[in-house]
Every structure is written in C-alpha cells, then in structure tokens.
C-alpha cells in the first residue's frame, strides 16, 4: 500500500503504451506483442515480386474520405456530456463552454478506477466509477467569446477540435507519443483581456468512505530557465481490503499538470470554481497565440508517483507544431487501415467512422474503454453503473475492430485479461469448484476478489444448489460488497433467498474472451502468440465447461447444460442455447490449438467427446421450451410444425424473465466461433441448422420489431442487425438499419453524437451498428470453427446502395471492393501473410486475376462458386469478371455530403 505521504516521488518510470501493439504476458510466460501484419503509411501496397508499386483501384484522398464524417456544431456546447472529445487513447476528454467566456476540458484516463472488485465502498457509490483526473478552465475575461454563432469542428482525420468564437480561435490536439493535450489559443480581440487557466479538483480534497479514501492535492512546480511554473493536481485513491488479503487491496495514483508555452505567466494563485478548489495561472492581456499544455499520468505501482511523469510530460513537451505533426502522422496511418464509403448513405458511414474515432481515443492504455462513458465522461467522476465491466455491453465495443483492421484496439482488453489470469483461475475454483478460468459477466480491474476459504465454500454451495440456505458469514460478507458482481448478485433485489440472478450463472465472458483470442490467431496465424498468450485462455474456457458441475452426460448419451444463464433472461436454465453454441466453438478451438502447439494430448479426448456429443439446440416444440412466445403468445400461432425454430433454453430454470426484446440473444452460433454461417450452409455442413436459423429469425421478436416495425425496439445493445447480415438478409438490412439508427436519437441527439441512454451515455450501439454495416459488406467465414476461411463480398448489402470498402479478412487478407447500381465491380486483395486465398465468386462468369498490376490467369467458376488461389506475401491481386479490367474501375473520386 501507499506510504504515509501519498505524494512522495521516487521517479520510477512506468511502462508506456505509445503506439502500435504492446507486449502482454502471463505470469509464467513472456508473451510478445499482439501480432502485427504489414501496414503501409500510404494507400499504395508494395509489390511482392517486381518491386513496383500498384495503386489501389479506389485510391481516394483519405483526408477527404474521412472528412465526410467530421462533426460540426454551431453554438455553445454547455455541458461535459455533450462536449467533443480529444484524447490519445489513454488521456484526454470532452471540451465544452461552461459560459460565454469560459472553455472547459475534463481530463480523464483509461487506467483510473475508483474501486476494484474487493471494494466495500463501491456498493454505496454505484455512479462513481472513476476515470476523471481533473478539469482545465480557460477564462477569457468578461467578453462574450462563445455564443450561438460559435463554430465547433472535430476533424476525425487528424484528431483535432477547432473552435471559432468571437475574437478567439482554439485548437485542441493530443500527443500520440505522450500523455499530453495541447490547447492552442489565438486571441484576436481588438481589446484583449487577461486570460486565466484554472486546474480544478473534481472532489473534496479529503474524501473518506470507510476504508476507502480519495486524497487530492494542488501544488506548484517552479519552472526552469524561461519556462513557466507548472500547476499540478495529484490524487491518491486507495482501499485496504477488509479481509486482510493483500492481493485485493486497491491503489491508484493520478496526476494532471498544466503550464503555458508562448506567453509569460504573471501570477499563480489559489482559487475556487463552484465548490471545487483550483490553482490558477494568470496571463496578461495580449493579442497573439499561445498554448496551454496539459499532461497526465496514472499508476497502480506504489513505488512511484504519477506526479513525476505528469510534470515531465508538460515541462519537456514539444511545441504545438511538433505535436501536431506527430498526431497527424498517427491518425493518417490509423485511417489508412480500412474504410467504408457510402456515397448516398452518409449518415451510416459517419456513425461507423465516428465509432472508430472513439475507439482510437480510448483504447491505448492498460484497460479497455468502458461502455458506460469511455474516456469521454464529462460529469466529474459520475459513471452510471459504476467501475465494473459488463461483458454484454463491452462486447458491443469490440465487435467491429477485427474487420476494421484494428486488432491493436483490442490490446487493452488482452492486457487486462493477462493481468487477471491467476484471479480468473481462482474464480473458477472458488465460484464453481471447477478447473480452468471463470470471468464473470461483471468484473472489475482485479478480475475476481480472492475470497476467504469459508466465504468461498459457502458461496459455492449456495450457487451450485447443494444447499438452499446461506451461511450468516456469507450473507454478512455480501452486505459489504457490490451486488452487481456475480458472487453477491443474489442480493440485487435485497431478497432473502435468490440462488440465481442476473449475472450469477452467466458463462459468456469466459467463452467470448476465448473466442477473441482464437479470432486473433485466425487473422494473424501467429503460432507464438497463440502459444504464449492465447492458448491458456482457450484451454481455460474449455476446461471451465468440461469441469463445470452443470455440464452432464445424460442417458441419451449427450452432454446437457444445467444451471447456466441466458444473458439476463433465463436464470440457471437447462440447455441454454448460448452455452451450447459457445461450447461447440471453444472445444473445437481447444482441440485444434492443442494440435497446432503439440500440447495437452491427454486433454484432447475429453474435449473431443464433449464437442462431438453436445445436445442439440432446444426447439420451441420441445417439452419445457423457453422462448419469446412465453411472453408474447401470438407468435406461437405463426409457427407451423413444419417450420422448426429454436427456443432459448429449457426448463427447469430458476427464473424466467422477459424474453421478447431484440436484446435477447439466440444467435450466438452466427456471431462467435464460426459455428454456423453462409459457408457452413454452402459447404453442406450445417446439419439442417441453417433452415432452423432462418425460421427462428423470421419468427423472432427482432424481426417483428425491426423489420415489420410492429414495435420500435430502441435497444442500443441489440445484435439483431448483425445477425441479419450474417444470415445474408440484404433486403431486410434497409429497414433494420433504419430502425436501429433511430436508436441514437431516441432521447435527443448530442452535438458529440454520443448515444444518450438516460442512465448513461455511450458508444455501444455504434459498435454493433458498425459491425452490422461491415458484415453486410464483407464476411470472412470458416465453415467450422477451425476450417479454412472464405471471403465473401457484399453478402448482405442492399443493392440500392452504392458502396466501397476496405476491410480485413482472416489469414491476413486486406480486401477492397465496390458495388455500383447493384453491380460488384472488382475485388482487390492485399496478401499480408502469403496465405492461400479462398473467395466466393460474386459474378455469374469466369474470373480474371491481375497480380501486381498484370493479367495473370483466368479462373473457371460459376456464380458463388469457390475460388482458390495461392498468394505471395505483399502481393496485390485484383479479381474482375471476364471481359472487364481493373482500369475501367479506377477512381479517386469522393463525393462530399451536402
């Protein structure tokens, strides 16, 4: 824990995440960085054989292409929740104008959390999640600088916010190489006034909640030479675990420092804004340009202080021009990795691009962006639903990142998972008496609180239904913990007996984490990364299921699940369809990975036995079936006996909640592990499941709500539009996307376009929306979880909408294509790994291949026939229908939106 003086400094440097991939490792293994594939600084790939350079068929000016999605707003933005955010992936936040003469920026950090899983204080502070470090207030005197005519423009292409007020222009950028925000101010007023820069606390200086404390202090660091003084706000948040188990203790130290470049500070004084203490830099009235430089840092290492790094960040900071040059180069490379271009569907394109921007500014730290606010929180520390990660919501954020060619933005999740690996093993043992790992549907930055043995045993007995009563110690312990975490979730209603609840028996976070790791391997084919980083999680997820008391081989010779949750809809039910689907994927991946790595030979027969003998998905015609009809009876009459459809699970179940919304999952086999998809169907491997999937889709509440619009289901975390794309339902995508797009403005649209869900504001709906768009444009599908992948272009894209895209496929293929007036013009493939390419023929003709700009061969194939050809690493290949050439489709034109 911290020393008596929490603000002492020893100057120890910390691990820095300053760009690209970073190393992640297990405690027993030295893991390398997340696998990287060829990345080009410009849109012209290198030729593999000739050394020449081949321009892409669509070769746009990316600044114009991405610039179509910029955010613009006229008027004053009055609150932090609506402010436009600038950050470098770790440090930054929203910018707004609190009154007509004051610019405000809240500084947040991805690695700052008020509580961990073991907190006894978080139960009383559900809306205080952490993330906030401090605020900067820039005052321009008594002039009206910001009013209804103020122009605000967020450039996504270079990550710059520009604000034109009356006589004052402001530019805000982040330094992608250090935790620095630069606020450049040009004062052009005829009669300038003195300017003040306040660094403000976000809470009382000494905030104590039992054993939990948040201590803040403002100090000044004298400048050297011609440098101005720096003002610093440091806070130490800590809580010793009430069990005395040191591994559960919480500690985080943060700091924000600010100084000024280009103008001399006339005074440094103490001040207050509202009821918050500040330190103020006063600047004399003067026309011209200067820069407010703000630095930050966060650490959980008690051997060092954040203040040292934050002060160094500002005192050693480059000037604005150099920061701008670095920032622009980083963003240029970021946007070149993929694109979507919809000439007539600009609003959809913008939401996808804006989501990618939000993902970029909040996913370069040690922890992933949170669904309930991200780095853009603007209400001090307020974060509805608290400090914890909710897997269902978090998954929305991750979904589009693979196809968008941004595996790098998954790095913080993997870093957090690696750090928590041993805790996940402890969780499996303590919660379920199981092997492997268990990641709760809700969890904090520890991943699991190591529990005293007696509490763990009582909890396990209770949740595995070996007893229906709780020990008094377990009950008392629960009252000191956050009831949204799995061990204590029985208390969510404050009832006396609740052996299953919203997140108690939910296994999806464990299994979906394994799927993320497996998917990275499928895209990169990096065996070392699979061995050192991914495999322990894949194996751990498989072993959790294998040793779980609720997976049982019944008299029918099939393995059935008992006592697992379907999201929040079925509590402790039988044969929950999500678990049956994910088990098919994780056991297949575990067997294949162990074979590739030559390990765990003895475990393979056990995994194979379960993989090959899992129970069939439950049908609505089965006895004790649980599905939407249980709360929406009219659906039952629409389902004839010759149209079998899936149920969501079976009785017995501890409790059944509302099953009729589009949020309710039932298509996990379409979404994860390539269990069922268009390739499974076309290669004849679906065993009849494809027809059942279609029947289920057509008779689902999502179809009624989002296609037929019987009920407008405003659910930001719905996956139904993604599922429709995976089913190839191009005609349905028009109404579905339109209905789902309406979600974003349900409660009024913010200037920053964030989705206001009333209890929190987020981007989770944009994640699934972006994924639905990308899946409609492009799919990379394996017919089974471990088979060779196949590329499909425009598998569910409405023919009425013109589109171009560049997206990533498995085996490292960067795929570009274009559709105009319903005609697919070309398919361009950049082979980044040199793997064999497989693609479904999008034309009803033979296909001509151009390799590195030269006509190479003709492939004989029918429409939708499987094309297969070898590639070299770095090779550029263009496919066109016979009788056409790539040159007739070459263009750089980008239409600007009206």
Question: What 8-state DSSP symbol labels residue 228?
Answer: P
Instruction: Measure the CA–CA gap between 850 and 757, rounded to whole angstroms.
Output: 49
Cα four-point dihedral sign 689, 690, 693, 694: negative
Instruction: Measure the CA–CA gap between 435 and 542, rounded to whole angstroms.
Output: 9
Cβ–Cβ under 8 Å, residues 434 and 544: yes
- DSSP letter string, 807-824: EEEGGGEEEEEEEETTEE
Q: Which tokens go with 30?
A: 């030295």
Instruction: Measure the CA–CA gap between 871 and 875, rounded to whole angstroms.
Output: 7
Radius of gyration of the chain (CA): 28
Instruction: Measure the CA–CA gap between 432 and 461, rounded to whole angstroms.
Output: 9
Instruction: Measure the CA–CA gap between 195 and 389, rounded to whole angstroms.
Output: 41
Instruction: Measure the CA–CA gap between 309 and 323, rounded to whole angstroms.
Output: 18
Instruction: Measure the CA–CA gap between 198 and 212, rounded to whole angstroms.
Output: 28
Can you give the pLDDT at residue 69? 97
Which parts of 230-304 are beta strand (E)?
Answer: 230-239, 250-261, 267-273, 276-283, 288-299
What are the residue ranges spanned by the domains of the chain?
Answer: 73-120+129-344, 389-781, 790-889
Condensed to tens digits (0 to 9), the pLDDT of residues 349-406 reads: 999 999 999 999 999 999 999 998 889 999 998 888 889 999 999 999 999 999 999 9
Can you give the pLDDT at residue 717? 87
The CATH code of domain 73-120+129-344 reads 2.70.98.50
SS3 sequence, 521-556? Answer: HHHHCCHHHHHHHHHHHHHHHHHHHHHCCCEEECCC
What dihedral do alpha carbons 35, 809, 719, 341 form, nearest 10°? 110
Condensed to tens digits (0 to 9), the pLDDT of residues 714-734 reads: 678 899 999 999 999 999 999
Can you give the pLDDT at residue 12? 27
Q: How many CB atoms lie within 10 A of CB 521?
A: 23
Q: At a CB cut-off of 8 Å and minimum separation 6, what does 785 contact?
A: 518, 584, 585, 588, 589, 592, 673, 674, 675
Can you give the pLDDT at residue 381? 87
Can you give the pLDDT at residue 722? 96
Can you give the pLDDT at residue 33? 63
Going by their DSSP bridges, the two strands 655-656 and 570-573 should be labelled as antiparallel
Can you give the pLDDT at residue 486? 97
Can you give the pLDDT at residue 5? 37
- For the entire predicted model, the pTM comes to 0.95
For residue 494, whether the previous peptide bond is cis, meaning omega lies within 30 degrees of 0, is no
Fold classification of 389-781 (topology level): Glycosyltransferase (1.50.10)
Q: In order along the chain (898 residues), what is the average pLDDT of each group of 10 residues?
A: 35 28 32 57 41 85 98 97 97 98 98 96 82 97 98 98 98 98 98 98 94 97 90 98 98 98 96 96 98 98 96 96 98 98 96 97 96 90 89 96 98 98 98 98 97 98 96 96 96 84 97 98 98 98 98 98 95 98 98 98 98 97 83 50 88 86 86 98 98 93 80 79 97 93 78 83 91 98 98 98 98 98 98 98 97 97 96 98 97 92
Can you give the pLDDT at residue 259? 98
Q: How far is CA 341 from CA 143, 349, 804, 898, in A?
A: 43, 6, 5, 15
Q: How many CB atoms lie within 10 A of CB 539?
A: 25
The helix/strand/coil state of 747 is coil
Establish how many alpha carbons lie within 13 A of residue 93's alpha carbon, considering only the half-sphere containing its beta carbon.
27
The CATH code of domain 790-889 reads 2.60.40.1180
Cβ–Cβ under 8 Å, residues 272 and 473: no
The helix/strand/coil state of 272 is strand
| End-to-end C-alpha distance for the chain, whole angstroms | 57
Can you give the pLDDT at residue 1? 36
Closest C-alpha among 202, 294, 195, 306 to residue 252: 306
């Amino acid at each position: 824990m911290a020393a008596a003086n929490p603000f002492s400094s020893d100057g120890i440097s910390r691990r820095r995440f300053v760009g690209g991939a970073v190393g992640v490792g297990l405690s027993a293994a030295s893991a390398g960085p997340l696998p990287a594939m060829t990345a080009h600084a410009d849109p012209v790939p290198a030729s593999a054989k000739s050394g020449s350079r081949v321009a892409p068929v669509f070769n746009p000016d990316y600044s114009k292409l991405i610039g179509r999605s910029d955010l613009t707003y006229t008027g004053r933005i009055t609150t932090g929740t609506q402010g436009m955010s600038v950050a470098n992936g770790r440090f930054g936040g929203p910018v707004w104008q609190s009154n007509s003469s004051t610019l405000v920026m809240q500084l947040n950090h991805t690695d700052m959390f008020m509580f961990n899983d073991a907190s006894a204080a978080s139960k009383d502070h559900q809306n205080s999640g952490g993330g906030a470090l401090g605020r900067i207030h820039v005052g321009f005197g008594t002039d009206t600088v910001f009013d209804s005519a103020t122009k605000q423009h967020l450039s996504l292409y270079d990550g710059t916010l520009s604000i034109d007020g009356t006589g004052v222009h402001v530019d805000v950028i982040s330094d992608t190489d250090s935790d620095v925000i630069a606020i450049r101010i040009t004062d052009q007023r005829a009669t300038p006034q003195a300017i003040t820069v306040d660094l403000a606390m976000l809470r009382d200086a000494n905030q104590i909640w039992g054993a939990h404390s948040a201590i803040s202090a403002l100090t000044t660091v004298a400048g050297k030479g011609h440098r101005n003084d720096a003002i610093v706000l440091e806070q130490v948040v800590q809580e010793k675990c009430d069990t005395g188990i040191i591994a559960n203790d919480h500690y985080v130290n943060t700091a924000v420092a600010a100084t000024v470049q280009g103008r001399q500070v006339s005074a440094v004084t103490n001040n207050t804004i509202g009821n918050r203490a500040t330190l103020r830099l006063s600047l004399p009235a003067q026309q011209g340009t200067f820069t407010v430089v703000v630095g930050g840092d966060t650490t959980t290492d008690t051997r060092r202080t954040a203040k040292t790094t934050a002060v160094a960040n500002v005192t050693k900071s480059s000037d604005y021009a150099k920061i701008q040059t670095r920032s622009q180069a980083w963003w240029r490379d970021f946007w070149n990795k993929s694109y979507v271009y919809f000439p007539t569907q600009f609003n959809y394109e913008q939401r996808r691009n804006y989501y990618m921007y939000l993902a970029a500014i909040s996913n370069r730290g040690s922890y992933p962006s949170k669904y309930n606010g991200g780095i853009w929180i603007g209400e001090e520390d307020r974060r509805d639903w608290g400090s914890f990660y909710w897997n269902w919501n978090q998954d929305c954020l991750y979904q589009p990142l693979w196809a968008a060619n941004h595996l790098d933005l998954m790095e913080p999740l993997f870093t957090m998972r690696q750090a928590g690996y041993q805790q996940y093993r402890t969780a499996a043992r303590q919660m379920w008496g199981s092997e492997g790992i268990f990641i709760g549907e809700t969890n904090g930055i520890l991943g699991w609180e190591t529990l005293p043995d007696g509490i763990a045993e009582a909890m396990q007995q209770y949740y595995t239904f070996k007893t229906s009563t709780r020990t008094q110690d377990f009950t008392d312990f629960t009252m000191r913990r956050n009831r949204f975490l799995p061990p204590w979730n029985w208390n969510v209603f404050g009832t006396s007996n609740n052996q299953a609840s919203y997140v108690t028996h939910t296994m999806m976070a464990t299994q979906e984490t394994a799927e993320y790791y497996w998917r990275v391997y499928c895209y990169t084919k990096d065996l070392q990364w699979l061995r050192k980083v991914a495999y322990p999680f894949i194996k751990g997820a498989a072993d959790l299921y294998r040793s779980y008391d609720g997976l049982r081989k019944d008299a029918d010779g099939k393995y059935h699940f008992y006592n697992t949750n379907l999201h929040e809809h079925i509590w402790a039910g039988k044969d929950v369809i999500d678990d049956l689907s994910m088990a098919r994927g994780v056991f297949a991946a575990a067997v294949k990975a162990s074979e590739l790595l030559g390990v765990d030979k003895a475990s393979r027969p056990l995994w194979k036995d379960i993989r090959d003998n899992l129970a069939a998905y439950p049908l609505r015609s089965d006895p004790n079936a649980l599905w939407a009809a249980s709360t929406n009876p009219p659906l039952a009459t629409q389902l004839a006996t010759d149209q079998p459809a899936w149920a969501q699970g079976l009785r017995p179940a501890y409790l059944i909640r509302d099953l009729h919304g589009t949020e309710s999952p039932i298509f996990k086999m379409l979404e994860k592990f390539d269990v069922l998809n268009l390739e499974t169907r076309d290669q004849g491997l679906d065993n009849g499941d494809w027809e059942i999937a279609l029947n289920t889709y057509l008779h689902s509440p999502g179809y009624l709500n989002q296609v037929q619009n019987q009920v407008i289901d405003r659910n930001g975390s719905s996956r139904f539009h993604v599922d429709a794309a995976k089913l190839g339902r191009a005609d349905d995508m028009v109404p579905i996307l339109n209905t789902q797009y309406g979600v974003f403005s349900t409660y009024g649209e913010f200037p920053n376009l964030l989705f206001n869900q009333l209890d929190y504001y987020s981007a989770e709906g944009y994640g699934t929306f972006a994924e639905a768009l990308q899946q409609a444009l492009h799919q990379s599908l394996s017919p089974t979880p471990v088979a060779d992948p196949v590329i499909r272009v425009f598998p569910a894209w409405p023919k009425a909408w013109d589109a171009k895209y560049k997206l990533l496929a498995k085996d490292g293929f960067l795929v570009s294509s274009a559709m105009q007036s319903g005609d697919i013009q070309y398919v361009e493939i950049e082979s980044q790994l040199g793997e064999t390419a497989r693609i479904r023929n999008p034309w009803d003709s033979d296909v001509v291949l151009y390799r590195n700009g030269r006509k190479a061969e003709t492939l004989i194939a029918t429409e939708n026939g499987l094309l297969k050809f070898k590639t070299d690493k770095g090779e550029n290949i263009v496919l066109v229908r016979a009788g056409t050439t790539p040159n007739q489709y070459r263009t750089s034109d980008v239409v600007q939106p009206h």
